[in-house]
Amino acid sequence: MAEQIVIPPTTDRRKRYAALYPQVAALLAGEVDAIAAMANLCAAVQQVFGWHWVGFYRVVGQQLVLGPFQGPVACTPIAFGKGVCGTAWKEDRPITLPDVDAFPGHIACSAASRSEIVIPLHGRTGAVAAVLDVDSASLDDFGPEDGRELARLCRLIEPLLP
């Protein structure tokens, strides 16, 4: 199959997610390697939405270690409970930040990030095994639909996680 993501000619985010999901599902069908799956998922999401930074951190021992991403170079590692990513891991819940400057522990990898959403991914044991971190250069760029749709995309990767 030709590996390419077709971006629908609309700025409607709902329609973009609706077009993206089956393409990512097809792209990842048969994939057995979690890193490869993460790499293609974040590339597809970044390509369709153009966000500042889209990437994964993986749980390695007591830290989050940078995984596949699209965007500027990023901080690594992140300790359990630190920053937005470490908090989403510790509390095992998605976190949406309309304004990163309003979160006291935010780790500023890039001054251009203004809002952020972090989604935990669970492995076969049910524990958090990775997080998806999406950063936008616009304030208040993420809503409930992004939380739902990004989590749905992440579920395509969860069966590959330890």
Q: Which residues bind ligand SME (CB under 6 A)?
A: 53, 74-75, 78, 83-85, 106-107, 109, 113, 116, 133, 135
Question: Considering the complex, what minimum distance in angstroms separates the CB of residue 113 from ligand SME?
Answer: 6
Cβ–Cβ under 8 Å, residues 109 and 74: yes
CA nearest to 49, candidates 19, 93, 28, 88: 19
Nearer to ligand SME, 34 or 84 (CB): 84
Determine the residue with CB nearest ligand SME. 83
Alpha-carbon gap, residue 140 to 97, rounded angstroms: 7
Question: Considering the complex, what minimum distance in angstroms separates the CB of residue 118 from ligand SME?
Answer: 7
Q: Exposed (0-12), middle (13-18) or buried (19+): which is 76, by Cβ within 10 Å?
A: middle
Nearer to ligand SME, 23 or 110 (CB): 110
CA nearest to 120, candidates 90, 96, 147, 88: 88
Question: Considering the complex, what minimum distance in angstroms separates the CB of residue 29 from ligand SME?
Answer: 28
Nearer to ligand SME, 135 or 141 (CB): 135
Beta-strand ranges (E) seen in 11-144 are 53-60, 63-70, 78-79, 95-97, 115-122, 128-136
Question: Considering the complex, what minimum distance in angstroms separates the CB of residue 85 from ligand SME?
Answer: 3
Nearer to ligand SME, 34 or 54 (CB): 54
Alpha-carbon gap, residue 7 to 9, rounded angstroms: 6
Question: Considering the complex, what minimum distance in angstroms separates the CB of residue 83 from ligand SME?
Answer: 3
Tokens at residue 89, please? 């891991």
Nearer to ligand SME, 74 or 137 (CB): 74
